Amino acid sequence: MTIAFACVLFMGLLPYVAAGIAKKGFEAYDNGAPRQWLAKQTGFRARANAAQANLFESLPLFFAAVIIAHIGNAPQLRVDLLALGFVVARIAYLICYVANWSTARSIVWLIGIVCVVTIFFQISI
């Protein structure tokens, strides 16, 4: 398994970490209506839930970039490094979101998207 493929697996699981943070402590948690319960949350729980949604939203482009780079015989080392950069940026994004550091969150979001777009440009034509 390449490092980039391991990053795909890791990123597929990271949104569930955000969900766990949102449900931390399970105060009056309603497993029968979890989305309604989460919709009523405030503070770090609401931010973690929003981060979860954004993490899921970022997956298709990242997954496509890694797969297309692999099919297109892109230099593996570069793809691995860019995939790692994306993962680090998304972990920082989650931390910034939960901590309510909006400017830092925007900066690391941008770093992550630059990593993904750059993966596409590694393909030899």
Task: Note every long-range contact of 6-12, with CB atoms under 8 Å and residues 24 or more positions apart, other chains counting.
Answer: 7/66, 7/80, 7/83, 7/84, 7/86, 7/87, 8/62, 8/63, 8/66, 8/83, 10/87, 11/55, 11/58, 11/59, 11/62, 11/63, 11/86, 11/87, 11/90, 12/59, 12/63
Complete domains list, the chain, with CATH? 3-120 (1.20.120.550)
pTM over 0.85: yes
Quick one: tokens of 104? 């830092």
Tens digits of per-residue pLDDT, 97-112? 999 999 999 999 999 9
Provide the H-helix boundaries in the chain: 3-22, 34-39, 43-71, 76-99, 102-120
Tens digits of per-residue pLDDT, 33-59? 878 888 888 888 889 999 999 999 999
